[in-house]
Structure 1
Amino acid sequence: MDLNKLTTSDKVIAGSAIALLIFSFLPWFKVDFGPFGGDVTVNGWEWFFWGILPVILGIVMLAQVAVSAFSPDTKLPDLPVTWGQVHLGAGALAAILVVLKLLIGQTGWDRAFGLFLAAIAAVGLAVGGFLKFQEEKSGTSTAPPSAF
């Protein structure tokens, strides 16, 4: 597996997708019972629309990047839009959903660190999608040159 085949956008998408998957298991919201002891936390897997769907979008983006980079003989389906547009839309949707959950919150619950990290990773997916779209638009969707 030659990682030099990956473009900058591919690396951003891959890193962000893996990070979002990991951060979805961390606490997104918590309730502290103070002097009565204990607290309760929930992670991103508690909500399909706000947590699971962005993770699925990230995994799909990662899968397309991996297939294109490491299995160039594989024929991906022809779409009415480019893969850059698909990545841009999927990354933007993932970012919007997680950031909205961050802004809206959960009634009676405090935001926990996992939600902030997941929001950063989801924005990373949007940035990676934008970079991939720009690469296709400019026609420079090749891997960067090797140092040697």
Structure 2
Amino acid sequence: MNIRALTRGDGVVIGAAVLLFIASFLDFYSADCDGGPYCDDIDMPNGWDTETLFVVLPSVFLIGLIGAGLVIAGRFQPESRKVSGLTLDQWGSGFVVVAAWDSLWSLMVTPDKGSPGVGAILALVATLASAAAVIATPRVPALKAPLMPAAAPAAPSPYGAQSPYGAQAPQPGYGYPGPGGAQPGQPGQPQGGQPGQPSFGGQPGPAGQPAQAQAAGGSDFAPFWFAVPVARPLYAEDGSSSTIAELAPGTWYLAVEQRGQALVAQTQDGRRGVLQDTTGIQRG
């Protein structure tokens, strides 16, 4: 599990789930008894009082907490993994929206001589915040940003060309991330007598294929290793919308070609595709 897969919108969902859990233990309704002598003796129900609020517990609190859990769990699962045709975060998004509606409805049907308690009000705030987050995150860049920013790249060296992505391009005969990386086809062999770094993403390219043959971006482009801050799809090279793989955070991939702002990336098993969203990638 890589926490860098979480977005700021997911952070809002997590915070709203914590607030919803706290609200479940607070009075869901309060009594309007006009200061009568028995007001202090009235025990108002909370969300876990199944005898009085047998509908509120599953329809507001449980479905809201389960929905938030599914949204977060879906960030660590590939998009191809679905349940009844929907991904986990899509199921979770539906759950939290239903919880928000049920929470609002529970305030509309407050019993006679009663009013919403602090538990009901906090539950409404939490479910509305969670529903707004799951709906707005795919559409608002500020919420799509990683919750934990990627580590800052190392300071550029005076040796080697500069990449359009703001970090130093690798030296000829690229290797694994870090100085003195091993050459493709020569695992563990040092460059210039320096100890080699371990592989982070597998051997690039078919066995025996020269490394230089993969650099199709011209003389100004040198292949480099990179990692994505969040899971991102890798599209087919023919320009279609079909997805051939999904790049996961915490794994190094090899960029072998540049196409405008996009990169042609190679996975551990040798598949190649176009990474269209290169914002926030971490250079190796």
TM-score by length of 1: 0.74
User: 2:8 matched to 1:16?
Assistant: no
Correspondent of 1:59 among 65, 70, 77: 65
TM superposition shift of 1:107: 2.3
Aligned to 1:88: 93
Aligned to 2:130: 125
Deviation digits for residues 41-76 of structure 1, max 9, x if unmatched? 21122323323332222222333344345x658x95
TM superposition shift of 1:91: 1.4
TM-score by length of 2: 0.42
TM superposition shift of 1:130: 1.0
User: 2:78 matched to 1:102?
Assistant: no
- SS of 1:25's equivalent in the other structure is coil
Kindly name which structure, 1 or 2, has the bigger radius of gyration based on alpha carbons: 2
Deviates most, 75-84 or 46-55: 75-84
Aligned to 1:41: 44
Aligned to 2:226: none
- SS of 2:28's equivalent in the other structure is strand
Q: Which has the higher strand share?
A: 2
TM superposition shift of 1:122: 0.9
Deviation digits for residues 75-110 of structure 1, max 9, x if unmatched? 954431244432332111000001111122122322
Greater relative CO (CA pairs within 8 A, separation 6+): 1
Q: Give the residue type in structure 2 aligned to 1:27.
A: D
Distance 1:79 1:8 in 2: 28
Distance 2:117 2:11 in 1: 27
Structure 2: gaps of 5 or more residues:
153-284
Distance 1:11 1:67 in 2: 13
TM superposition shift of 1:31: 2.1
Correspondent of 2:84 among 79, 82, 87: 79
Distance 1:124 1:93 in 2: 13
- SS of 2:43's equivalent in the other structure is strand
Q: Give the residue type in structure 2 aligned to 1:7.
A: T
Q: Which has the higher helix share?
A: 1
8 A contact 1:20–1:122 mirrored in 2: yes
- Percent identity between the two aligned chains: 23
Distance 2:100 2:69 in 1: 18
- SS of 1:110's equivalent in the other structure is strand
- SS of 1:79's equivalent in the other structure is coil
- SS of 1:45's equivalent in the other structure is coil
- Given the superposition, is the C-alpha separation of residues 117 and 110 from structure 1 closer, same or farther in structure 2, using an over 3 Å criterion? same
- SS of 1:30's equivalent in the other structure is strand
Aligned length: 142
**Superposed structure 1 runs of 4+ greater than 4 Å apart:** none
Deviates most, 58-67 or 5-14: 58-67
8 A contact 1:17–1:55 mirrored in 2: no
TM superposition shift of 1:14: 1.3
Question: How much is the aligned-residue C-alpha RMSD, in angstroms?
Answer: 3.1
